[in-house]
Structure 1
């Protein structure tokens, strides 16, 4: 069975400057983000830096971060 992954390869995004939260524990448990020249935001799993990347619009990220700040996703941690 062929493995299918969502997103593009991290290698396909040239010049991305990846950032991770200062809350990351340094044990590969973090998500990294990069703002692209198009204004979009790319996200990847730090454990797989060459793996798949998901790309979101500015508006999608703004909506998600607004929900995070409002506590709408706190249920995922309980």
Structure 2
């Protein structure tokens, strides 16, 4: 696998298995996540699968998910 870096095209991430939430709507408005071989987590826009991917450490991804579950971003939606 080539060297992975933040903002690289998700299409260049060979062997990465992307997955999306079951809560995603049929029009594809969602993000997809993938575990990288080194343990980091990548995120991409499902509507632009060849676009840039954001790469997070496990700790960063954990903090984000905890914030979402805790309602810290509820004011940004709905």
Scaled to the shorter chain, the TM-score interval is: 0.7 to 0.9
- The structure with the greater share of residues assigned to strand is 1
Instruction: Give TM-score, length-normalised by structure 2.
Output: 0.87
* Equivalent in the alignment of 2:47: 47
Q: Deviations over 1:14-61 (max 9, x none)?
A: 111101011111202010000011100000001111111111110100
Runs of 4+ in 1 over 2 A off after TM superposition: none
Aligned to 2:25: 25
Structure 1 alignment gaps of length 5 or more: 1-5
The residue number in structure 2 matching 1:61 is 61
Q: Could you tell me the TM-score, scaled by structure 1's length?
A: 0.87
Higher-Rg member (1/2): 1
Number of aligned pairs?
73
Q: Give me the CA root mean square deviation.
A: 1.2
Segments of structure 2 that go 5 or more residues without pairing to the other structure are: 1-5
Q: Which whole-Å CA distance do the structure 2 matches of 1:35 and 1:7 have between them? A: 16
2-structure distance, mates of 1:74, 1:28? 21
SS of the residue 2:60 aligns to: helix
